[in-house]
């Protein structure tokens, strides 16, 4: 089990983090490192693309929540791209759908960034 992380610059100051694989207690530190590095470099508008993520647990959700809190302190935002019903269900039942913008495609997520 592994996670692949790809970071790329997009429109304006926004960055996209493409994730592929499974985000769990073992792999989530790698995701956290990528997001933290972007924020440390003062990039506060992020799109996290979960389209190729097959599985996420509470540690993965915790990483996303932590990233969101940090960018919000600087007036930024984190939007998610996700169409996987099982993963969307996790955001639904935890209520996290209310604090993240979750979009069906990258264009929509980019457009909605603050």
Query: Which chain residues interact with other proteins by CB under 8 A?
Result: 1, 22, 24-26, 55, 57-59, 61-62, 65-66, 85-86, 89-90, 93-96, 98-99
| Residue 46: count of CB within 10 angstroms of its CB | 27
Q: What's the distance, CA 21 to chain centroid?
A: 13
Q: Scan for tokens 């099982």, then name that residue.
A: 86
Is 34 or 64 the residue whose CB approaches other proteins more closely? 64
Nearest in space to 82 (alpha carbons), one of 62, 59, 108: 108
Q: Please give the angle made by the CA atoms of 50, 51 and 55, to the nearest 5 degrees.
A: 65
Is 5 or 96 the residue whose CB approaches other proteins more closely? 96
* In the complex, minimum distance from the CB of residue 109 to other proteins, in angstroms, rounded to a whole number: 20
* In the complex, minimum distance from the CB of residue 83 to other proteins, in angstroms, rounded to a whole number: 15
Is 7 or 96 the residue whose CB approaches other proteins more closely? 96
Is 7 or 97 the residue whose CB approaches other proteins more closely? 97
Nearest in space to 67 (alpha carbons), one of 91, 47, 95: 47
* In the complex, minimum distance from the CB of residue 24 to other proteins, in angstroms, rounded to a whole number: 6
Q: Which two tokens stand for residue 73?
A: 């302190």
């Amino acid at each position: 089990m592994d996670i692949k992380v790809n970071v790329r610059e997009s429109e304006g100051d926004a960055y996209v983090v493409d994730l592929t694989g499974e985000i769990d207690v073992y792999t989530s530190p790698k995701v956290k490192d990528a997001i933290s590095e972007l924020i440390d470099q003062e990039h506060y508008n992020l799109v996290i693309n979960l389209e190729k993520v097959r599985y996420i647990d509470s540690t993965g959700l915790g990483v996303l929540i932590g990233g969101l809190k940090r960018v919000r302190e600087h007036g930024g935002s984190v939007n998610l791209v996700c169409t996987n019903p099982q993963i969307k269900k996790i955001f639904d039942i935890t209520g996290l759908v209310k604090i993240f913008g979750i979009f069906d495609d990258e264009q929509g997520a980019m457009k909605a960034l603050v």
